[in-house]
């Protein structure tokens, strides 16, 4: 019966992950990309930043019954803002995703590690090298403990550390 319980738990987790992925894709399509539909938006020079700002404004209080969906979407938006150099907006969304993930997920859950890695990259890009190094090292240690040194997810924070060391020299 213990094996049956584990299978049931794994099945529930898989269904939950699928629902989160589907809701995230729906958000991307309906709230973000649909704004650029030429039939709805005649501005052909519409900027990603504008799309992102509009979509981000719709998130608050929208996913109250599905906090992990909100965290997933905020992670995506935060990473995108960060790639655009909009660090304050990135931090806002990444920190909110972290709060939700801390409430909902186990310490070494991959989503928490992805979020922490994003926050480390954000700190590095803002010149906060010591904090970035601490965060990258935490992700690296957790990845080593959970997936091992030969897993691709181990190399993501390792690459972040290498880039940090190159940048801070």
DSSP assignment of the chain: -HHHHHHHHHHHHHHHHHHHHHHHHHIIIIIIGGGG-TTT---TT--HHHHHHHHHTTTTTT-TT-HHHHHHHHHHHHHHHHHTT-HHHHHHHHHHHHHHHHHHS-TT-HHHHHHHHHHHHHHHHTT-HHHHHHHHHHHHHHHHHHT-TTSHHHHHHHHHHHHHHHHH-
- Whole-structure pTM value: 0.78
Percent of the chain with pLDDT over 90: 47
Q: Is the pLDDT score of 3 beyond 90? A: no
Task: Convert the pLDDT of each residue in 36-69 to its tens digit.
Answer: 555 555 555 567 788 788 888 888 878 888 899 9
Task: Convert the pLDDT of each residue in 73-87 to its tens digit.
Answer: 999 999 999 988 999
The band of 32, judged by pLDDT with boundaries at 50, 70 and 90, is low
Task: Convert the pLDDT of each residue in 113-156 to its tens digit.
Answer: 999 999 999 999 999 999 999 999 999 999 999 888 988 888 99
Task: Convert the pLDDT of each residue in 8-25 to its tens digit.
Answer: 777 777 777 777 777 776
């Amino acid at each position: 019966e213990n094996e049956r319980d584990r299978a049931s738990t794994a099945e529930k987790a898989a269904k939950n992950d699928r629902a989160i992925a589907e809701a995230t894709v729906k958000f991307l399509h309906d709230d973000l990309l649909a704004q650029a539909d030429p039939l709805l938006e005649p501005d052909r020079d519409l900027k990603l930043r504008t799309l992102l700002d509009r979509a981000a404004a719709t998130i608050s209080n929208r996913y109250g019954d599905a906090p992990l969906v909100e965290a997933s979407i905020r992670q995506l938006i935060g990473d995108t803002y960060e790639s655009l150099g909009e660090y304050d907006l990135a931090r806002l969304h990444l920190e909110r995703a972290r709060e939700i993930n801390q409430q909902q997920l186990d310490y070494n859950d991959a989503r928490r590690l992805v979020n922490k890695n994003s926050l480390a990259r954000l700190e590095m890009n803002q010149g906060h090298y010591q904090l970035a190094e601490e965060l990258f090292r935490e992700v690296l240690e957790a990845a080593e403990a959970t997936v091992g040194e030969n897993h691709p997810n181990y190399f993501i924070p390792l690459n972040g550390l290498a880039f940090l060391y190159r940048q801070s020299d």
